[in-house]
Structure 1
């Protein structure tokens, strides 16, 4: 009962915080001041997507590092027979998934790409065939970079993306219900290019890598101003 009373009191003070502080009693003003930050955290921030790369899905040519937030491409890689065999692992392509499944909501993450010259970033259905590469089928949607050019790719169809140069780090914005996947210039910030699709079923962050390394950054708030 004491915990319930405390919760009710906290809720009341959160509501009081919406009124002008000068209209409150000294006791309430003090309590509101103490709880203001807590109220802000619980009411003003949305839940952010936090993920790591899923080693179980990683192709044998990919090594994970920095507590499974980064991935590096090894030209020779491991002998596939030396990697634990499981149905989650990509067998023919240098692909790895994030370890969170997304079924709703609006989510944002960033990827440091400065140490790679050939990669793909986006999302894929969690149950996508492990014999395919991201971008080559109808259950994956990616932004790619190769031969110093950006492009989008799904169902093996490539569409050029107009982007001058190559930033060190880019953002990925996913709005599940709106059917939007955006590549974000984090310097402005602004959406450079958008893929529109009606998503079905659970999605995972998806990465393909054929050179250098990528470092993922999740648990981030979406930048202000993105549509």
Structure 2
């Protein structure tokens, strides 16, 4: 099960709240005054980002995310020790697929590559192959890999979610669909 890590549960500055037993993330317009939030080195202070509580350092892992209630988000993985001053996708320790302005993109090291995907599905899959060095965005209807990001994973990774409107709902503990590479 992917749930937000305990350090992220009060991420008021970035206006994120958790729901559905910490498997859902919702964006709220109003956060608390930053001076009222206890300083925590695990918290993203300037970004609406949360990490899952699972640290991954081997194997293949698959999860899905319901994205139908958001128009701007990033989904992927990041090194557990990634700087909390950066947003996921902007450094070499995070790999994400994003959706903004009705377009999909893949992003790492602040390099954005368009992903050609027809429309916006209600739900997408994420496939991580740690030793194989890839992260795949999966069409759950077909099922097929739409796009892959390559990386040399050397440190423990966490599922990562950035959200700038609406809500996301994670679904973990799923079998990887057959036929994916």
Query: TM-score normalised to the size of structure 1?
Result: 0.76
- With 109-118 and 54-63 compared, the bigger mean Cα shift is at 54-63
Q: Aligned partners of 2:72 and 2:33: how far apart in 1?
A: 22
Q: Aligned partners of 2:8 and 2:97: how far apart in 1?
A: 20
**Quick check: 1:105 aligned with 2:82?**
no
Q: Which residues of 2 match residues 34-73 of structure 1 at below 5 A?
A: 50-57=1-8, 59-60=11-12, 61-73=15-27
Q: Aligned partners of 1:161 and 1:155: how far apart in 2?
A: 16
Give secondary structure in 2 for the equivalent of 1:56: helix
Aligned equivalent of 1:175 = 129
**Among 58, 71, 74, the residue aligned to 1:117:** 71
CA-based RMSD: 1.0
Q: Is the strand fraction higher in 1 or 2?
A: 2
Aligned equivalent of 1:150 = 104
1:32-54 CA distances to partner (integer Å, 9 max, x unpaired)? xxxxxxxxxxxxxxxxxx22112
Q: What displacement does 1:85 show?
A: 2.4
Q: What displacement does 1:55 show?
A: 4.2
Q: Aligned partners of 2:32 and 2:118: how far apart in 1?
A: 36
Judge conservation of contact 1:114–1:168 (CA < 8 Å) in 2. yes
| Bigger RCO (CA 8 Å, 6+ sep) | 2
Aligned equivalent of 1:41 = none
Give secondary structure in 1 for the equivalent of 2:63: strand
Query: TM-score normalised to the size of structure 2?
Result: 0.95
Q: Aligned partners of 1:220 and 1:93: how far apart in 2?
A: 29
Q: Is the helix fraction higher in 1 or 2?
A: 1
Structure 1, unaligned stretches of length 5 or more? 1-49
Q: Aligned partners of 1:215 and 1:201: how far apart in 2?
A: 26
